[in-house]
């Protein structure tokens, strides 16, 4: 029985491993067969761009999206490579006849390549013995060549045309599983390399021409259909930059940044080459600053270099690619246009080099690492804060080379608050170091340009500096880092007691604290969260109850301790519910609903009044501790029997599930209560 169950599992695992071992192209071909099998044997389903003859083998994602570069497609069915239809029968049941390469060109529809092979006398070679691979351009590929280029080829068939055809050939049989990403194959024209790229989405390119139908076997080799006529390349990326007039500014920048060796070295890169026009679009002051700063310049150019070769034909949907600088770029397409970060700024694509591919771009991609704090702020959702800094005459701090961190409130904060260009307040928001939020730790002290010290609070769901919490990812510039925060921060100016005494709303509370002997406690260098009842809160109490409370120092202290949490909890750290232990021993429930902070379901009148040893929330209610529970009271001795009773009650549900233990448990419970 076990052996019978094991066999299907083993076969399933073996099938999964076999599928994973296939190349990406073979995987999408397999998926295409699955989608077409209801049409008959050896039928492949393809996605055809509406209004064109362009077809794509679909992967699972493409099949359901039905779009290529944002354009709609229709499903078409055709014979899979190597098969043909038989009149009167369903699907493509017959294998294509096995013939020599010359005849196979005609069988697969590459009749123009076949014709040119005959006129250049290449046919004699590809009909004889041997083993070759031909990357055969389709008839449409030949027809799309510029007229001058095509005329020069057909007018000199014995040299120009023959050499062009031999550049499309390899002197051995190469199948798709041999076409590895980033490899090169020596062509039969002076052994000049052909660049091969095999992408994860299943697309294979040959000098950036897309492989359309692969692995058409012949007696003396194999034919792969491609969508372009490929041309020889013997120049590195650097050499192309040096001879291209439209890249003159880039040429000087590459040399100044010390990247010449990289761009002529072996490898497979993609250079998003800014044209002279792209550099001219940048403000002259910004351009001069970057060109005069070798580190910023290197970051700028590294942001235009991708770590692998990316041909335009491989991009059929948006994807993230890593630059040499280590940042990500969003590369996509819209119809026939390539896009970078959603913008169609690529002017000329797929210029092949021996060590990669070049796409010319008409806009400069300036990374954050080459920008000033001012530039980072202007491009972010903190433009109001930047305007205030300008009005206060502090913008020089954001454009200099001093290492700083700007804590800038979001624009949305100022919709409900008055914007102030107070110089000292703004200096409180500029920290003297260039920080990274991921390295901040709880309790860390940060010094501002105003000389004040700010505390860091690390919570489970937020990272806050005083009362202001981080609202977006860091933006790290050349010398400064931008922290976007949710509000203006207020540095502490005294202890909890100092703050309460200075605010007339809390005069009754201050008197109560002094009467209860808690003044020294709230002056200590500890961490408190104080829910401070206002005078209004005390006045709302029945007069007799208030007099009784004020006349009993012990009970008053107990009530006041219930209003004091034993850690600092700013409003930005409050999620749905946070339970905060009080000095009295019971826990306070702090929650947020509709952007209103509540404590024990009572709304807070004002939050985040910062003190050097805590934070204060103004409340218009005197909070009452839960029902009297001696064992949980911090100021009463613990009764051991009642402690056992409490523990027993907590486990009663589990104990009562056992019929054997129920009587024993009931007797124990009765004794405890007695």
Contact between 487 and 468 (Cβ < 8 Å): yes
**DSSP string of 543-612, one letter each residue:** HHHHHHHHT-HHHHHHHHHHTEESS---GGG--SEEEEEBTTSSEEEEEEETTEEEETTEEEEEEEEEET
Q: Coil, helix or strand for 400?
A: coil
539-551 confidence digits (pLDDT tens): 999 998 889 988 8
**What burial class does residue 378 get, using C-beta atoms within 10 Å of its C-beta: 0-12 exposed, 13-18 middle, 19+ buried?**
middle
Residues 6+ apart with CB under 8 A from 611: 492, 493, 494, 495, 496, 498, 499, 528
pTM attached to this predicted model: 0.80
Nearest to 297 by CA among 312, 309, 282: 282
The answer, yes or no, to whether residue 85 has pLDDT greater than 90, is yes
SS3 content of the chain, % helix, strand, coil (to 5): 40, 25, 35
The answer, yes or no, to whether residue 657 has pLDDT greater than 90, is no
pLDDT band at 664 (very low <50, low <70, confident <90, very high): very low
pLDDT for 22 equals 85
The answer, yes or no, to whether residue 64 has pLDDT greater than 50, is yes
382-429 confidence digits (pLDDT tens): 999 999 999 999 999 999 999 999 999 999 999 988 888 999 999 999
Angstrom distance (rounded) from CA 619 to CA 597: 10
In the predicted model, what is the mean pLDDT of residues 489-493?
Answer: 93
Q: Across-strand partners of 225?
A: 136, 213
pLDDT for 651 equals 41
Residues of the chain above pLDDT 90, percent: 80
């Amino acid at each position: 029985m076990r052996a019978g169950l094991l066999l299907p599992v083993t076969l399933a695992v073996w099938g999964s491993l076999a599928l994973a071992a296939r190349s990406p192209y073979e995987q999408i071909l397999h998926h295409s067969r699955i989608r077409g099998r209801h049409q008959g044997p050896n039928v492949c389903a393809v996605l055809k761009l509406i209004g064109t003859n362009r077809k794509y083998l679909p992967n699972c994602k493409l099949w359901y999206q039905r779009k290529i570069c944002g354009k709609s497609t229709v499903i078409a069915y055709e014979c899979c490579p190597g098969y043909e239809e038989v009149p009167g029968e369903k699907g493509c049941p017959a294998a294509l006849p096995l013939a020599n390469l010359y005849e196979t060109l005609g069988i697969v529809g590459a009749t123009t390549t076949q014709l040119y092979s005959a006129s250049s006398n290449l046919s004699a070679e590809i009909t004889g013995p041997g083993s070759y691979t031909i990357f055969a351009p389709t008839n449409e590929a030949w027809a799309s060549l510029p007229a001058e280029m095509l005329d020069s080829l057909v007018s000199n068939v014995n040299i120009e045309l023959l050499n062009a055809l031999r550049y499309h050939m390899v002197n051995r049989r190469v199948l798709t599983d041999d076409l590895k990403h980033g490899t090169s194959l020596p062509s039969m024209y002076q052994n000049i390399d052909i660049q091969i790229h095999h992408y994860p989405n299943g697309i294979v390119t040959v000098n950036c021409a897309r492989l359309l139908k692969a692995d058409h076997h012949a007696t003396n080799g194999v034919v792969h259909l491609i969508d372009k006529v490929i041309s020889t390349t013997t120049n590195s990326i650097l050499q192309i930059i040096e001879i291209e007039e439209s890249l003159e500014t880039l040429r000087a920048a590459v040399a100044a940044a010390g990247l010449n060796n990289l761009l002529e070295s072996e490898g497979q890169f993609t250079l998003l080459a800014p044209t002279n026009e792209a550099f001219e679009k940048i403000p002259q002051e910004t351009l001069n600053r970057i060109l005069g700063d070798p580190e910023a310049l290197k970051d700028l150019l590294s942001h235009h270099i991708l770590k692998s070769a990316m041909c335009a034909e491989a991009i059929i949907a948006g994807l993230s690619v890593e630059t040499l600088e280590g940042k990500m770029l969003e590369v996509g397409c819209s119809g026939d246009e390539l896009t970078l970060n959603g913008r169609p700024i690529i002017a000329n694509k797929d210029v092949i080099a021996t060590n990669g591919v070049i796409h010319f771009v008409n806009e400069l991609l300036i990374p954050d690492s080459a920008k000033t704090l001012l530039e980072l702020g202007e491009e972010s959702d903190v433009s109001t804060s930047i305007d205030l800094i300008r009005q206060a005459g502090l913008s020089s701090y954001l454009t200099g080379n001093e290492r700083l961190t700007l804590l800038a409130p979001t624009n949305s904060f100022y919709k409900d608050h008055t914007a102030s260009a107070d110089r000292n307040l703004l200096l409180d928001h500029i920290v003297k170091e260039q920080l990274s939020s991921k390295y901040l730790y709880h309790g860390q002290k940060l010094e501002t340009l105003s000389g004040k010290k700010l505390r860091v609070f690390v919570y489970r769901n937020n990272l806050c500096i005083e009362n202001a919490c981080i609202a977006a990812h860091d933006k790290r510039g050349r010398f400064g880092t931008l922290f976007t925060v949710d509000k203006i921060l207020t540095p502490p100016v005294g202890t909890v007691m100092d703050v309460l005494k200075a605010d007339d709303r809390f005069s009754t509370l201050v008197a109560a604290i002094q009467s209860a002997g808690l003044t020294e406690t709230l002056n200590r260098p500890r961490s408190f969260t104080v829910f401070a009842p206002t005078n209004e809160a005390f006045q709302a109490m029945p007069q007799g109850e208030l007099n009784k409370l004020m006349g009993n120092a012990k009970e008053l202290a107990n009530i006041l301790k219930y209003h004091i949490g034993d850690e600092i909890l700013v409003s930005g750290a409050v999620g749905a519910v946070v339970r905060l232990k009080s000095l009295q021993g019971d826990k306070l429930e702090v929650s947020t609903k509709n952007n209103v902070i509540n404590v024990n379901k009572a709304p807070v009148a004002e939050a985040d009044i910062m003190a050097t040893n805590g934070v204060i929330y103004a409340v218009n209610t005197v909070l009452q501790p839960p029902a009297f529970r001696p064992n949980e009271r911090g100021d009463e001795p613990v009764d051991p029997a009642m402690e056992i009773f409490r523990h027993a009650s907590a486990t009663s549900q589990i104990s009562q599930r056992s019929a054997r233990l129920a009587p024993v448990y009931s007797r124990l419970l009765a004794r405890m209560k007695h």
